[in-house]
Amino acid sequence: MAKYLLLKHYRGAPAPVNDVPMEQWTPEELSAHVQYMRDFAARLEGTGELVDSQALSPEGTFVRYDGEGRPPVTDGPFAETKDLIAGWVVIDVETYERAIELAGELSAAPGAGGKPIHEWLEVRPFYAAQPTVTE
C-alpha cells in the first residue's frame, strides 16, 4: 500500500473547467457539493482506503523565528502568495493508478449548475516506511 495526498487549492492550481466561484453557486448546489465530498470520504472508509480528510480556512498567518528571547514575527495573509491550500484527502491505496482514479472522482465534485467542477487536484506520494531487505 502507498499513501497519497490529494490536495485541493483555493488558489494556485490551473483554472478548472467549471470555473464559477462558490459564493455564486445556489445554496442547493453548495449542499450537493458538500454531500459529494462526504459521500466520497465515506466510500473510501468503506473500501479501507481512507486515512484522513480535512478542509482548511483560507485565512492564515505566516510566522517565523525572530531571534533569541524575542516573540515570533507574524505577517500576512499575503494576497500575492501563489498557493492557497483548501484541504486534502489522504488515501492508502494499492497502486498509483488507483490514486489517480480517486483524484479523478474527487475532481468530479459538482459545482455551478450541478455540473462537475473538473478541478485540478495535486497528487503527492507520502514517503514510505524504509524497507528492511534492500540488497
CB-wise, 38 or 115, nearer to another protein? 38
130 binds another protein (CB under 8 A): yes
Coil vs helix vs strand at 86:
strand
From 64, 37, 69, select the one nearest 53 (Cα to Cα): 37
97 binds another protein (CB under 8 A): no
The footprint of another protein on residues 50-89 (CB under 8 A) is 50-52
127 binds another protein (CB under 8 A): yes
29 binds another protein (CB under 8 A): no
125 binds another protein (CB under 8 A): yes
Name the one range near another protein by CB under 8 A: 62-70, 75-83, 104-112, 125-133. 125-133
92 binds another protein (CB under 8 A): yes
Phi/psi for 82 (5° steps) reads -70, -50
**5 CB-near residues (< 8 Å, 6+ apart):** 88, 89, 90, 122, 123, 124, 126
From 6, 7, 91, select the one nearest 48 (Cα to Cα): 91
Among 4, 36, 49, 117, binds another protein (CB under 8 A): 49
The grid coordinates of residue 103 equal: 483524484
CB-wise, 24 or 54, nearer to another protein? 54
